[in-house]
Structure 1
Amino acid sequence: MLLVTNIIANKEEYIKSLAKRNFDGAPILEKVIALDEDRRATQAKLDHTLADSNTFSKQIGMLFKNGEQQKANLLKEKTAQLKENSKELGTKLTQIQEELTQLLYTIPNIPHTSVANGQSEEDNEEVYKEGDIPTLEEGALPHWELAKKYDIIDFELGVKITGAGFPVYKGKGARLQRALINYFLDKNTEAGYKEFQVPHLVNETSGYGTGQLPDKEGQMYHVTGDDLYLIPTAEVPVTNLFRDELVTEKELPICCTGYTPCFRREAGSYGAHVRGLNRLHQFDKVEIVRVEKPENSYQALDGMVAHVKDILRELELPYRILRLCGGDIGFTAALTYDFEVFSTAQDRWLEISSVSNFESYQANRLKLRFKDSNGKNQLAHTLNGSSLALPRVLAGILENYQTPKGIKIPKVLVPYCGFEYID
């Protein structure tokens, strides 16, 4: 959530920056400023009214003490009216503050200066590419056919149990899933990230804290009886560990990692681009989250990008990195890099990670602050990244590593799997 003081100081700059998102910021920012002026004026009236009430209350006591009962009673009437006025002003102030907060929730984050204009994913900028695309044997299969051939993922059984988008992993497929999770967690903890196991459901306050609510409310599974939400990513519970916290400067950076299943209602269209593991309603993901001092957050973002690069190098998968344009960047992010793995059998790139800096946007919602060396409280910066999302990584491995002998397991995963081939 943007700071009102920053909106007032940088209104024209913010309007231009939000235009990168194809978001017309002028009307809503002007309304925010007008509401804040009304809030400050109402607060001033309330403060003045309370001050007068306190002054009169002291005078009433003195008048009664001096035997001036008539004057005291007149002041009591005035004090009663002031108390009624202060009650009305307090109610009005609460309403203004609530309206202002709800309005601020609808404004996306300000994109970083490096974010380009653009309408959609077609306008994202490729900033890095690495790895050789393998040449497959004639008759190479997409992963959903390989899953059936080697009996490692059953999409139909998932439909029977739950519905489309909830696959069942079997045998070596399940072991490969577990191997990937353990490998990702080991890589993250070795890099200094502390591992957490967190709840898979969150309350509404947590959803608002990281920005999934109200922006993505329709994409989350809602447990209506208890008013809880199934998490779309571990980012939500892990980042909310620090909601309403005041940490010390010495504690920063805070580096966290965690594995969770993820649940998303997002409906996909039909076709090969959403078949198999390409788009699911339930999937596994290992996440990394950082809380940083503002001046260090972009260096930390570069470090997170380098970390994901290292994982993909060890998996020996061809990948590229995209810097998202204004029209494709997430609502809460200031800058996002997407990682994509090339699927040789599908002849297309598959997104497998997003690494983002939210600057102080989430921290302001979360009231996540740190006390600097001068004793001043400042909003921290938050960052997160997939490290990694499993379905499309698994799809890339199955398709790019298929051989006449079977599916070869990347060397780095063999100690985790206990086998070298799926055959």
Structure 2
Amino acid sequence: MLQVNFLRDNKERVLEGLKKRQFKNLELVDEAIAADDERKRIQFELDSQLSEINKISKEIGLLMKEGKKEEAESAKSKTAQYKESSSELKSQLEGKENDLLNILYLLPNIPNELVKSGASADDNEIIFQSHPVEGLGEGAIPHWELAKKYNLIDFELGVKIAGAGFPVYLGKGARLQRALVQYFLDKNVEKGYTEVNPPHVVNEASGFGTGQLPDKEGQMYYINEDKLYLIPTAEVPVTNLYRDVLFDEKDLPIKNTAFSQCYRREAGSYGAHVRGLNRLHQFEKVEIVRIEKPENSYAVLEEMVEHIKEILTDLELPFRVLRLCGGDTGFGSAMTYDFEVWSAAQEMWLEVSSVSNYETFQANRLKCRYKGDGKSQLVHTLNGSAMALPRIMAALLENNQTAEGIKLPKKIAEYARFDVIN
């Protein structure tokens, strides 16, 4: 969430950034500033009345001591009027604070100056590609056919149990999933991340803290009786570990990694691009989360990008890195890099990771600060997928298919304890 003082002091920059995102409701900036002006006016009037009440209360005591009962009673009557008025002002203040908060919740983060203007994924910048790509040629089949051929994943059985988008992994398919999860966690721990095992459900406050609410409410599964949400990513519970926390400067940085099941409704998704493992309602993912001092966050973002590149290199998959344009950057992110792997049988790029710097956007909602040089200030939060399993699995199956079976990359074969699926 943006701070209203930031909107006020940097209005031109804010409007320029929102235009980069193709954000249409620019009037919300003025509405937020106006709401804050009215909030300040009410607060000033309330403070003045409370000060007057305090002053008169002291006078009443003196008047009573001096035996001036009639004057004391008159002062009491005046105090009662002020109290009634101040009570109404408190109600007005609470209403205006809620109005301001609801406006701020609707404003996305301001993109970093390096983020280009753009409307969609077509405007994203390709900043790195591992090597040229091509299809596998005649006879290559997509991963959903490979999964059936080698009895790795049963999509129809998943439909029977839960519905479309909930596959069942079998035999070597399940073992390969487990191997990938362990490999990703180990790689992250080697880079200094502390592994945590968070809940897979969160409350409403946690959803607001990381920006899933109110922006993505329709994409989350909701448990009505308990008022809990199934997590769309481990980013949500892990980042919320630090909600309402004031760090000492020496405690930073914080580096966490977590494995979780992820649940997304993906409402409205359909077509060939969502077939097989391309888009699911439940999937496995390993996440990395960073809590950083503001001056370090962009160097850290580049460090995280290099970490993901190293993982994909180990997986021996053709990949590319994109810096997202304003219109394709997530609601709370100031800058995002997407990683895509080449699906050789489908002959298309599949997104497998996003790494983002949220600057103070989440921290402001979370009230996550650190104290240094005698003052407290908001931290910067960053997160990324390291990695999401389904499309990695799809690319591994498709890109490594041979006449003898599917040959796994060396690193993963060591974890899976088999090197060929046949």
Do these two structures clear the TM 0.5 threshold for a shared fold by scoring above it?
Answer: yes
Flag the 1:268–1:35 CA change in 2: closer, same or farther, 3 A.
closer
Superimposed CA distance per residue, residues 257-305 of structure 1 (whole angstroms, 9 cap, x where no aligned partner) = 0000000001354432110000000000000000000000000000000
| SS in structure 2 at match of 1:85 | helix
Tell me what 2:221 maps to: 221
- Paired amino acid for 1:252: L
| SS in structure 2 at match of 1:164 | coil
Q: 8 Å contact 2:262–2:284 — kept in the other structure?
A: yes
| SS in structure 1 at match of 2:215 | coil
Q: 8 Å contact 2:249–2:371 — kept in the other structure?
A: yes
Tell me what 2:238 maps to: 238
- Paired amino acid for 1:38: E
Q: 8 Å contact 2:135–2:345 — kept in the other structure?
A: no
Shift of 1:132: 5.2
Shift of 1:24: 3.1
Tell me what 1:402 maps to: 401
Does residue 16 of the first structure (1) align with residue 16 of the second (2)? yes
Shift of 1:119: 1.1
Does residue 418 of the first structure (1) align with residue 420 of the second (2)? no
1:226-375 maps to which residues of 2 (within 5 A)?
A: 226-372=226-372, 374-375=373-374
Superimposed CA distance per residue, residues 284-327 of structure 1 (whole angstroms, 9 cap, x where no aligned partner) = 00000000000000000000000000000111100000110111
| SS in structure 2 at match of 1:338 | strand
Which stretches of structure 1, 4 residues or more, deviate above 6 A after TM superposition?
none
Q: What is the distance in 1 between the residues matched to 2:270 and 2:232?
A: 22
- Paired amino acid for 1:367: K
Tell me what 2:185 maps to: 185
- Listed as ranges, the gaps of 5+ residues in structure 1 are none
Shift of 1:123: 0.9
Q: 8 Å contact 1:355–1:383 — kept in the other structure?
A: yes
- Paired amino acid for 2:389: L
Tell me what 1:392 maps to: 391
Q: What is the distance in 2 between the residues matched to 1:38 and 1:269?
A: 43
Superimposed CA distance per residue, residues 238-273 of structure 1 (whole angstroms, 9 cap, x where no aligned partner) = 000000000011111100000000000013544321
Q: 8 Å contact 1:175–1:417 — kept in the other structure?
A: yes
1:37-76 maps to which residues of 2 (within 5 A)?
A: 37-76=37-76
| SS in structure 2 at match of 1:128 | strand
How does the TM-score come out when normalised to structure 2?
0.99
Shift of 1:376: 0.5
Does residue 85 of the first structure (1) align with residue 75 of the second (2)? no
| SS in structure 2 at match of 1:331 | coil
Q: 8 Å contact 1:39–1:93 — kept in the other structure?
A: yes
- Paired amino acid for 2:336: T
Q: What is the distance in 2 between the residues matched to 1:270 and 1:218?
A: 16
Q: 8 Å contact 2:218–2:267 — kept in the other structure?
A: no
Flag the 1:134–1:24 CA change in 2: closer, same or farther, 3 A.
closer
| SS in structure 2 at match of 1:115 | coil
- Equivalent pairs, count: 422
Q: What is the distance in 2 between the residues matched to 1:257 and 1:270?
A: 32
| SS in structure 1 at match of 2:327 | coil
Tell me what 2:6 maps to: 6
Shift of 1:12: 1.6
Q: 8 Å contact 2:134–2:347 — kept in the other structure?
A: no
Q: What is the distance in 2 between the residues matched to 1:104 and 1:132?
A: 44
- Paired amino acid for 1:88: E
| SS in structure 2 at match of 1:18 | helix
- Listed as ranges, the gaps of 5+ residues in structure 2 are none
Q: 8 Å contact 1:219–1:266 — kept in the other structure?
A: yes
Tell me what 2:141 maps to: 141
Q: What is the distance in 2 between the residues matched to 1:363 and 1:221?
A: 24
Shift of 1:4: 0.8
- Paired amino acid for 2:387: L
Over the matched positions of the two proteins, sequence identity in percent amounts to 60
- Paired amino acid for 1:46: L
How does the TM-score come out when normalised to structure 1?
0.98
| SS in structure 1 at match of 2:326 | coil
| SS in structure 2 at match of 1:213 | coil
Q: What is the distance in 1 between the residues matched to 2:244 and 2:277?
A: 37
